[in-house]
Amino acid sequence: MTGRIYDSESYPILASRKVYTILIALLLVSIATVGYVLLNSPVVRTESLPVVERGDMVYVDYVGYFADKPGGWVFDTNIRKIAMDDGITKSLYFVKREPKDYKALNFTAGTATNLLKPFVDGVIGMTVTETKTIYVPVDKAYPVALPALRTNLIDMEVPVIYRLNVSEFEKLYKITPTVGMTVKHAFWEWDTEVIDLNSERVIMQNEPQIGMIVSAFGNPEEDPRDGWYQQVISIDPAAYDGNGLIIVRNLISPQDVYQKKGTDYDKKKFTLFDVDLTNRTFTVILNEEGYIGELAGRALIFEVTVTRVLKR
């Protein structure tokens, strides 16, 4: 019988070889494991994110706010958390939508739509998950529609005696007129009395007091941005051939521009657009169908995050 003979000197050598073999095997297993994890980790994978090109369908989250006059007021967003946060100052005519309506905005990058051109062009070159601030200058934003402008005197003139036809009176006050009846003026809020009438017309007499404070364009007591106060500063009953003249001063300043909204005498909503102390006038810009005057003539800023890109 033959066999390998191990002497005392050979044992250390064999033991060392076994240890080295085990260490090398463990090292190879570790390298293989780490490599697998790195190659399959979404954090370190090196494949590039999609880049928006002209013509791609892009989905974005956005917040739009005014650049100035004053700046920082949010006028639109598709992010429900921002829309519902009352701690974030919103524009005068900001509208909270139904929860289901807060979803990503999608459009074709670089293609003219009902969106502003700097907005649809500004996403070109962005990658998915990237956030970018897009500035829209006044000349590229929403224009001022001249027919929507309405200019008034700061010191407005109101007749003491005025006339309505019977149907107008009944529509305004929901009552049949009688001589001696006193109602609150439908616009100015002070007392106005029926002093004469026939089957066709009603003669009214305004009865404010000098120094009286009214708020004809809104309710600033409830909401400081809704209208403003006016003060009766003089009454001349002999002016205009006895029809009389009341002077009502609007208590506004240039600092109120774009910071006040209201409802005019014909029930049209508006934004205060200009206060000219030199010419003693103020101008409002009316809301029309599909047109919000508050947005007109102002530089805008959009914070945009690309959430998805469909390549053309």
Give pLDDT tens digits for 201-228: 999 999 999 999 999 999 999 999 999 9
Q: Decide if 51 is inside a domain.
A: no
Residues 100 and 218 in one domain: no
Same domain, residue pair 222 and 232: yes
74 and 23, same domain (yes or no): no
Report yes or no on 36 lying in a domain: yes
Q: Is the pLDDT of residue 6 over 50?
A: no
User: Has residue 2 been placed in a domain?
Assistant: no
Residue 185 lies in a domain: yes
**116 shares its domain with 187:** no
Co-location of 256 and 180 in the same domain: yes
For residue 14, pLDDT beyond 50: no
Domains of the chain: total: 3
Q: 104: domain CATH number?
A: 3.10.50.40
Residues 80, 116 within the same domain: yes
One domain for residues 286 and 172: yes
Q: Which residue has the higher pLDDT, 137 or 18?
A: 137
Average pLDDT over residues 290-301: 96
Q: Supply the mean pLDDT for the chain.
A: 89
Let me know if residue 4 belongs to a domain.
no
Domain presence at residue 7: no
Tell whether 20 is covered by a domain: yes
Domain around 80: 57-141+297-310
Same domain, 237 and 280: yes
Q: How does pLDDT run across 154-164, given as a tens digit for each residue? A: 999 999 999 99
- CB neighbourhood size of 79 (10 A): 16
Mean pLDDT, rounded, for 167-180: 96
Q: Are residues 182 and 252 in the same domain?
A: yes
- Within-domain flag for 150: yes
Same domain membership, residue 174 and residue 291: yes
Whether 170 and 212 share a structural domain: yes
**Domain check: are 26 and 77 in the same one?**
no
